[in-house]
Amino acid sequence: MQRRLLFIFLLLTSLFLLLGCEQRQASVDDTADTDLAISQQPAPNQQQTQLVEAPVFENYVDLGDMPALKERGVLRLLAPRGPQEGSLPRIGLPMSEWRELAEKFAHSRGLQPQWVYVDNFAQLIPALIEGRGDVIASNFSRTQERKAVVSFTRPLQFVSELLVTRRDNGLQPVPNRPLQVAVRRGSAFAETLIHSEDAQNYKVTYLDGPVEHEELLTAVAEGRYQATVIDSNQVNAFLPAYPQLTSSSKLNSERAIAWAVRRDSVALRRELNEFFTAELVLASQKREQALRDWQEILESGTLRVLTRNHPASYFIWRGELMGFDYDLLKKFARDHKLRLSMIVPDPDMDLADALQAGMGDMIAASLTITKGRRQQGLVFSRPVMAVKELLVAGPQGASENNNLTLEELLAGQIVAVNPQTSYHDSLVKLLQKQHAQELLPLQIKRIEGVTTEFLIDSVASGAFPYTVVDSHLVAIESTYRNDFRVVGELPGDRDIAWAVRAKQPVLLEHLNTFLEKHNRDLFFNVTYNKYFKEQKRILKHQGQRLRSTDVLSPFDPIVQKYTQNTDRDWRMVVAQMYQESQFNPQARSFAGAQGLMQVLPRTARQLGIGNLYDPENGIRAGVSYLDWLDDRFPQNLPLDQKIYFTLASYNAGHGHVRDARNLAQRLELDPNQWFGHVEEAMLLLSQPEYYRSSRFGYVRGREPVNYVREIRDRYIGYLGVERNQYYMDTQ
């Protein structure tokens, strides 16, 4: 029997190897004389049909923008293929990261990613322009020649182009004998060589077809070519395998790596830029960090709080961050001279998991104290408030006065809940009581990651007959809507509290001291009433609470108009606009700044813009000034940090930010990182011992530090609403 199995295994292995060889040979033969070779799987024979179940992608021609892509449900991602058709990029190379990023973007827009391969870089742009792909998603350099025919996204990174030769050949040019440099046809390297100051010293040899870096480097190592060119972001992945080769920055070239779309794919380019900016800004929040207690939090100067976009805990109203937990913790942070950073994980991520991973220092999200959460490792503060769990139905739901017990009322009924909430545990206990009473059991409809609002909406629309809601949330929701009703109450009171990890005793002590000190005092009562008692204020805040990012301000179309041809995310500009003027186009500062973006008239005149009180002029001036400031910083600055340095310059002036970067370097901080580094140096520039030795002198450093943080936090708030909105839409 074992021999028979071994024979079958060897037979199948041989068959797979044979098929692989046939595919590779077909790939080489088919690419001999083609102008645009889009990779397609060869027609399967009878044996292959039995082994290959996935349908072959049949490409098509489509020149549409985002609406057309969403109608088809597919995003075609163009990339050059290697010797093996459609082969996966090697781990550790930029293409691996680009592949993951491209597929993540497609999924975030509800599209199915489909890779379409061409033979070489020269065929990428023709394939895009002819409509055989939608995005060039590769290690693609943004050059002037390419910008003339396609539209590029914001840079993903900046790289240097390095000349690679044998160590024993050297790089000194020989008179009348130019260095022979082999490059792939269509790559940006040839453009660099041709336009370099030493162009006469190079003879470019173009290689056609699928050519990988290993082939070029091997050819140089063996002496078949004298040199080749490689991007700096690929050097560490390749050169260690070639000890006889060396690289040099002799070309003195730096390029932006970006993706490309057709010039009329305006919406697709904008959504790619939005996605890239969001990924950059959120990356630091998603990164697992050290598990900190009080001393480490004090040293960092920032308290990181995990929460949810939630009517009781944390939300955005007209661009302003609000919420019961948020207001309490803002005072707690201020009392201890800490900055407050609210972190909203993805809806399907459990807050306890996020806390244990180090994404935050504590949780404040209207969490009910439960045995299950304690078993997850959460340690709770003293209660913040006590609530009841209420059974909610649609407007035509069962009456409260039907004299049925809760167990009888829910016999055989469906109750929809998020299994991550305490409601689920309460329903399980109710189910056990029904079983003991020999009643028809209720059915728990578990919906992962959804909000209480989503469940109330579902009950109100008739999608489910019942859900469970905490009493303080019912108080908020019933203030501005009347499409649901309370039909029962689950037994017992529930305590809501903040949560920390087991090894944070000092943080827990400080939180408990704060809650005990303010237990029902004036500050607590005013804050509590603001969110749960005062109907006018609740109606004002909750009725206009941001639930969707479809409209962030009355001026979104104008912002989108003036950012669509830039690398800027329009949502970041809206977040900044609120910081500047609270969306008031007639705003004027004590220093004379005017309009929505609070630009000084003399700055606007230099940009050729007048009447800043006109919303279009004010926004155009603000975006233009941001672009001007952005150009003042070196290209090699990390792209996410460049956003923060530009914002700080908008508030305090480019000169003061440059002083802060220089001071950060003197203090052995990182001059290329804003948070925790340059912002700390900026704070010191209000002290004589530091500003007297700086070029631009005194600056109220607290203002730009708070300015950048508040805009960043508002922008992240927008992203949280958007992620939540998308998640609910897909349920």
Provide the CATH number for the domain around residue 663.
1.10.530.10
What is the predicted pLDDT for the residue at 251? 77
User: Do the Cβ atoms of 651 and 579 come closer than 8 Å?
Assistant: no
Tell me the average pLDDT across 214-239: 85
Q: Is residue 477 part of a domain?
A: no
**pLDDT for residue 47 is more than 60:** no
Of 258, 277, 301, which residue constitutes the final position of a domain? 258
User: Do the Cβ atoms of 511 and 498 come closer than 8 Å?
Assistant: yes
What is the predicted pLDDT for the residue at 396? 78
Phi-psi bin for 274: left (phi > 0), alpha (psi -120 to 50), beta?
alpha
Using DSSP, state whether 344 is helix, strand or coil: coil
What is the predicted pLDDT for the residue at 33? 31
**pLDDT for residue 366 is more than 70:** yes
Of 210, 234, 258, which residue constitutes the final position of a domain? 258
Q: What is the overall mean pLDDT for the chain?
A: 85
Tell me the average pLDDT across 494-512: 96
Instruction: Quickly state the pLDDT bin for 42 (edges 50, 70, 90).
Output: very low
Tell me the average pLDDT across 149-159: 91
Using DSSP, state whether 183 is helix, strand or coil: strand
Q: Is residue 687 part of a domain?
A: yes
What is the predicted pLDDT for the residue at 175? 61
Q: Is residue 293 part of a domain?
A: no
**pLDDT for residue 596 is more than 60:** yes
Q: Is residue 622 part of a domain?
A: yes
Instruction: Quickly state the pLDDT bin for 537 (edges 50, 70, 90).
Output: confident
Tell me the average pLDDT across 8-24: 40
Instruction: Quickly state the pLDDT bin for 619 (edges 50, 70, 90).
Output: very high
Question: The whole model's pTM is what?
Answer: 0.79
Of 220, 238, 258, which residue constitutes the final position of a domain? 258
Task: Of 226-240, 319-333, 395-409, 687-701, give the lowest mean pLDDT range.
Answer: 395-409
Q: Is residue 286 part of a domain?
A: no
Cα first-last separation, the chain: 49
Tell me the average pLDDT across 74-97: 64
Please name the residues in contact with 222: beta carbons below 8 A apart, sequence gap of 6 or more.
none
Q: Is residue 19 part of a domain?
A: no
What is the predicted pLDDT for the residue at 6? 40
Compare 429 and 206 and report the one with higher pLDDT: 429
Strand runs labelled E in 310-361? 315-317, 320-322, 339-343
Q: Which domain holds residue 234?
A: 157-258
**pLDDT for residue 263 is more than 50:** yes
Residue 107, both tokens: 């999924």
580 in active site:
yes
Task: Of 188-202, 402-416, 480-494, give the lowest mean pLDDT range.
Answer: 188-202
**pLDDT for residue 145 is more than 90:** no
Residue-wise pLDDT tens digits, 84-95: 444 444 444 556
Please name the residues in contact with 448: beta carbons below 8 A apart, sequence gap of 6 or more.
348, 418, 419, 420
Instruction: Say how far apart CA 147 and CA 450 lie, in whole Å.
Output: 43
**pLDDT for residue 530 is more than 50:** yes
Residue-wise pLDDT tens digits, 667-708: 999 999 999 999 999 999 999 999 999 999 999 999 999 999
Provide the CATH number for the domain around residue 230.
3.40.190.10
Please name the residues in contact with 584: beta carbons below 8 A apart, sequence gap of 6 or more.
596
Using DSSP, state whether 393 is helix, strand or coil: strand
3-state secondary structure 212-251: CHHHHHHHHHCCCCCEEEEEHHHHHHHHHHCCCEEEEEEE
User: Do the Cβ atoms of 341 and 302 come closer than 8 Å?
Assistant: yes
Q: Is residue 708 part of a domain?
A: yes
Strand-pair partners of 227: 165, 181
Instruction: Say how far apart CA 157 and CA 160 lie, in whole Å.
Output: 10
Tell me the average pLDDT across 63-84: 88
What is the predicted pLDDT for the residue at 731? 61
Residue-wise pLDDT tens digits, 375-385: 999 999 999 99
Catalytic residue among 389, 580, 679, 722: 580
Q: Is residue 427 part of a domain?
A: no
What is the predicted pLDDT for the residue at 95? 64
**Strand (E) or helix (H) holding 505:** helix 505-517
Domain count along the chain: 2
What is the predicted pLDDT for the residue at 535? 83
Backbone angles phi, psi at 491, to 5 degrees: -65, 145
**pLDDT for residue 336 is more than 80:** yes
